[in-house]
Amino acid sequence: MSDTNQAPKSADTTREEVALLPPVDVLEDAGGITLYADLPGVPKDRLSLHVEADVLTIDGEVVLDAPAGMELTHTEVGLPRYRRQFTLSKELDAGKVQARFEHGVLTLRIPKAEHAQPRRIEVQVV
Amino acid sequence: MYYRSMFPRDLFAELERLQREVPQTVEPGPSIRGQKRGYPALNVGGTPNAVEIYAFAPGLDPATLDVQLEKGILTIAGERKAPAVSEQATAHIGERFAGRFRRVVSLPDDIDPNSIVAKYRDGVLHVSVQRREETQPRRISIQ
């Protein structure tokens, strides 16, 4: 993240690169991984999720209905974009990711591939 | 500020202090909530006619949000539940806020407490408070 923070904010081309890091919860159970990400202010059509070479990228643009001529006097969310990347491990099935986006919270369910599911091996007594 | 050396010539203590303070001032903090700020994060802005407050409070049931205005003090309170974790699950990252929260904003004197509108959309609570009409800028015509 430190690299993106050092990017200059003046030029419009580099502004694309600067983004807030959304807080996440990541939980893993036997069936896969559940990821929750807080992306307040992002409408559904401005959220982009993609997986490329095992890297999952969450990218969202903040859209607020600000009245014309509004001047911000206090800012805690200072950038209109969130971005975060995660490297998926081999046993996760990136093709079967389920996503839900409600009230600014993204819920991703990334199942484990069939062959990676834990299996109980019956011990036979002979 | 956690610590200031009593002895200004203690070079190592000074360096240690610098090491702590510089990242705080140089980095704007990539986290939406940061460690020093509360939940929800607030942006406050204004126009000549109104004061606009944006509370970045994702994942709430709007019905449980408590927004109050009393004597020019706006209070936003509520509770956010942690996601249900089954006993077999492992938590790898846990950064999201969970629990009760309360944030308070002192509004300017010229607001009209009777014209306040609160909307919750995409996880952002937008409270818009109109300013009183008699305090709004107006042009005085010269006769």
User: Looking at the complex, does the CB of residue A63 fall below 8 Å from at least one CB of chain B?
Assistant: yes
A31 with A111: CB under 8 angstroms? yes
Domain spans in chain A, listed from the N-terminal domain onward: 2-6+19-65+75-111
Give the residue-averaged pLDDT of B71-93: 87
pLDDT (0 to 100) of residue A120? 76
The percentage of residues in chain A with a pLDDT greater than 70, rounded to a whole number, is: 86
Report the residue of chain A nearest B89, measured CA to CA: A29
Q: Is residue B2's pLDDT more than 50? A: no
Q: Is residue B33's pLDDT more than 70? A: no
What ipTM was predicted for this assembly? Answer: 0.76
- Displacement of CA B26 from its chain's centroid (Å): 21
Give the residue-averaged pLDDT of B31-51: 77
Given an 8 Å threshold on Cβ–Cβ distance, is A23 in contact with B97? Answer: yes
Strand partners, A83: A59
pLDDT band at A6 (very low <50, low <70, confident <90, very high): very low
- The first and second tokens of residue A109, run together, are 């369910």
Chain B nearest-CA distance from A35, in A, is 9
- Pick A2-6+19-65+75-111's CATH classification: 1.10.1060.10, 2.60.40.790, 3.40.930.10, 3.40.50.300: 2.60.40.790
B18 secondary structure, DSSP code: H
User: Looking at the complex, does the CB of residue B60 fall below 8 Å from at least one CB of chain A?
Assistant: yes
User: Looking at the complex, does the CB of residue B42 fall below 8 Å from at least one CB of chain A?
Assistant: yes
* Residues in A touching B85 (Cβ below 8 Å): 27
| Three-state DSSP string of A25-87 | EEEEECCEEEEEEECCCCCHHHEEEEEECCEEEEEEECCCCCCCCCEEEEECCCCCEEEEEEE
Domain spans in chain B, listed from the N-terminal domain onward: 1-30, 33-84+97-134
- Pick B33-84+97-134's CATH classification: 2.10.260.10, 3.50.50.60, 3.30.70.1070, 2.60.40.790: 2.60.40.790
Given an 8 Å threshold on Cβ–Cβ distance, is A39 in contact with B48? Answer: no
More confident residue, B14 or B66: B66
